[in-house]
Amino acid sequence: MNAPVSNSIAAMIPELTEWRRDFHRHPELGYDVPRTARLVAERLRGFGFDAVIEGVGKTGVLGLLHGADGPAAGAEKRVLFRADMDALPIHEATGAEYASSAQGRMHACGHDGHTTMLLGAARRLAETREFDGTLVFCFQPAEEGEAGAQAMIDDGMLERFPVKGAYAVHNWPGVPVGAFGVVRGPAMAATGKFHITVEGVGGHAAFPHLSRDPIVAAAAIVMAAQTIVSRVVDPLDPAVVSITAIHGGEAFNVIPNRVEMKCNIRCFSDAVGETIEKELRRICADTAAALGARVTVETGAGIPYPPTVNHHAETEIALEAMRAVAGPRNVRDDVRPVMGAEDFAFVLRQVPGAYIFVGNGDSAMLHNPQYDFSDAALPYGVAYWVELARRVLPA
Q: What is the pLDDT of residue 116?
A: 98
CATH of domain 190-299: 3.30.70.360
Q: Determine phi and psi for 299, rounding to 5 degrees.
A: -70, 140
> Half-sphere exposure of residue 257, counting CA atoms within 13 Å on the CB side?
0
Burial class (CB in 10 A: 0-12, 13-18, 19+), 49: buried
- pLDDT value at residue 73: 85
Whether the CB-CB separation of 204 and 254 falls below 8 Å is answered with yes
Cα angle 238, 243, 248 (rounded to 5 degrees) comes to 170
Residue closest to 335 by CA, chosen among 195, 230, 206, 185: 185
Please report the pLDDT score of residue 45 as a whole number. Answer: 98
Report domain extents, the chain.
7-188+307-392, 190-299
Residues 6+ apart with CB under 8 A from 124: 8, 9, 12, 382, 386
340: phi then psi, degrees, rounded to nearest 5 = -65, 160
pLDDT at residue 5, rounded to an integer: 85
Contact of 254 with 202, CB cutoff 8 Å? yes
Q: How far apart are CA 341 and CA 339, in angstroms?
A: 6
- pLDDT of amino acid 292: 97
User: CA 108, CA 127: separation in Å to the nearest integer?
Assistant: 32
Q: Nearest to residue 85, comparing CAs of 128, 134, 144? A: 144
Taken as a whole, the chain contains a residue count of 395
Fold match between domain 7-188+307-392 and domain 190-299: no
Please give the Cα distance from 133 to 91 (Å, whole number). 43
Question: What pLDDT was estimated at residue 16?
Answer: 98
The answer to whether 86 and 107 are in contact (CB under 8 A) is: no
C-beta separation of 82 from 343 below 8 A: no
Q: How many CA atoms lie within 13 A of 301 on its CB side?
A: 2
Question: Do the bridges between strand 165-172 and strand 353-359 make them parallel or antiparallel, or are there none, so unpaired?
Answer: parallel
pLDDT tens by residue, 245-256: 999 999 999 999
Q: What are phi and psi of 66, to 5 degrees?
A: -90, 150
What's 106's DSSP letter? B
Cβ contacts of 289 within 8 Å, gap of 6 or more: none
Contact 373, 220 (CB under 8 A): no
Look at residue 118 in the predicted model and tell me its pLDDT. Answer: 98
Sequential pLDDT tens for the chain (395 residues):
567 788 899 999 999 999 999 999 999 999 999 999 999 999 999 999 999 999 999 999 999 999 999 998 888 999 999 999 999 999 999 999 999 999 999 999 999 999 999 999 999 999 999 999 999 999 999 999 999 999 999 999 999 999 999 999 999 999 999 999 999 999 999 999 999 999 999 999 999 999 999 999 999 999 999 999 999 999 999 999 999 999 999 999 999 999 999 999 999 999 999 999 999 999 999 999 999 999 999 998 888 999 999 999 999 999 999 999 999 999 999 999 999 999 999 999 999 999 999 999 999 999 999 999 999 999 999 999 999 999 999 99
Distances (CA, A) of 331 to 35, 175, 189: 35, 10, 22
7-188+307-392 placed in CATH 3.40.630.10: yes
Q: What is the pLDDT of residues 350-392, one digit of tens each?
A: 999 999 999 999 999 999 999 999 999 999 999 999 999 999 9
